[in-house]
Structure 1
Amino acid sequence: MTVAGNHTLRNPTREPDLRAALAAVEDALVEATRSDMPFMAEAARHLARPGGRRLRPLLVLLAARFGDPDAPGVVPAAVVVELTHLATHYHDDVRHETNASVAVLIGDFLFARASRLLAGLGPRAVRLQADAFTCLVTGQILETTGPRDGHDPVAHHLRTLAARSGALTAASGRLGALTSGAPEEIADALAVYGERLGVARHLAAELRSPVHGAPTLPVLLSGDPTAPALAEARHEVHRQCAEARKALTPLPTGPARTALTELCEAVAQEI
Structure 2
Amino acid sequence: MVDAATGVELTHLASLYHDDVMDEATLRRGVASANAVYDNSTAILVGDLLFGRASEIIAGLGAEAVRIQAQTFVRLCAGQIQDDRQAPGDTEPMAYYLQVLADKTGVLIATAARYGAMFSGCTDEQVETLREYGELIGIVFQLSDDILDVTSEADDSGKTPGTDLREGVATLPVLYARADDSPANARLRELLAEPLTDDTLHAEALELLRAHPAIEQARAHTLRLADQAADLARRLPAGDARDALEALPLSVAQRSA
Q: In the aligned structure 1, how far is the partner of 2:86 from the partner of 2:43?
A: 24
Q: How much does 1:197 deviate?
A: 0.7
Who is 2:28 aligned against?
Answer: none
Who is 2:46 aligned against?
Answer: 106
Q: In the aligned structure 2, how far is the partner of 1:220 from the partner of 1:269?
A: 20
2:76/2:107 contact within 8 Å kept = yes
Q: In the aligned structure 2, how far is the partner of 1:243 from the partner of 1:100?
A: 39
Gaps of 5+ in 1: 1-73
Task: Report percent identity of matched pairs.
Answer: 41
Matched AA of 1:219: V
Q: In the aligned structure 1, how far is the partner of 2:7 from the partner of 2:127?
A: 17
**Cα displacement string for residues 83-112 of structure 1 (whole angstroms, at most 9, x for unaligned residues):** 101111111123224532122111011111
2:94/2:175 contact within 8 Å kept = yes
Matched AA of 1:168: L
1:90/1:104 contact within 8 Å kept = yes
1:219/1:229 contact within 8 Å kept = yes
Who is 2:184 aligned against?
Answer: none
Q: Does 1:220 align with 2:175?
A: yes
> For 1:135, which of 45, 70, 75 is the aligned residue?
75
Q: Which moved more, 1:78-87 or 1:138-147?
A: 138-147
Distance 1:145 1:269, change over 3 A: closer
Gaps of 5+ in 2: 25-34, 151-162, 179-187, 189-208
Q: Does 1:200 align with 2:155?
A: no
Q: In the aligned structure 2, how far is the partner of 1:269 from the partner of 1:140?
A: 25
> For 2:116, which of 176, 181, 202 is the aligned residue?
176
1:121/1:179 contact within 8 Å kept = no
Matched AA of 2:177: S
Who is 1:16 aligned against?
Answer: none
Q: In the aligned structure 2, how far is the partner of 1:204 from the partner of 1:255?
A: 26
Q: In the aligned structure 2, how far is the partner of 1:147 from the partner of 1:138?
A: 14
Q: In the aligned structure 2, how far is the partner of 1:142 from the partner of 1:197?
A: 20
Q: In the aligned structure 2, how far is the partner of 1:251 from the partner of 1:209?
A: 34
Using the size of structure 2 for normalisation, the TM-score is 0.73
Residues matched between the structures, number: 198
Question: After TM superposition, which residue ranges in structure 1, 4 or more long, deviate above 3 angstroms?
Answer: none
Q: Which moved more, 1:192-201 or 1:148-157?
A: 148-157
Q: In the aligned structure 2, how far is the partner of 1:250 from the partner of 1:208?
A: 31
**Cα displacement string for residues 51-70 of structure 1 (whole angstroms, at most 9, x for unaligned residues):** xxxxxxxxxxxxxxxxxxxx
Q: Which moved more, 1:228-237 or 1:261-270?
A: 261-270
Q: Does 1:187 align with 2:142?
A: no
Q: Does 1:153 align with 2:93?
A: yes
Q: Which moved more, 1:89-98 or 1:168-177?
A: 89-98
Who is 1:86 aligned against?
Answer: 13
Using the size of structure 1 for normalisation, the TM-score is 0.69
Higher relative contact order (CA 8 A, sep 6+): 1
Q: How much does 1:253 deviate?
A: 0.8
Q: In the aligned structure 1, how far is the partner of 2:215 from the partner of 2:59?
A: 44
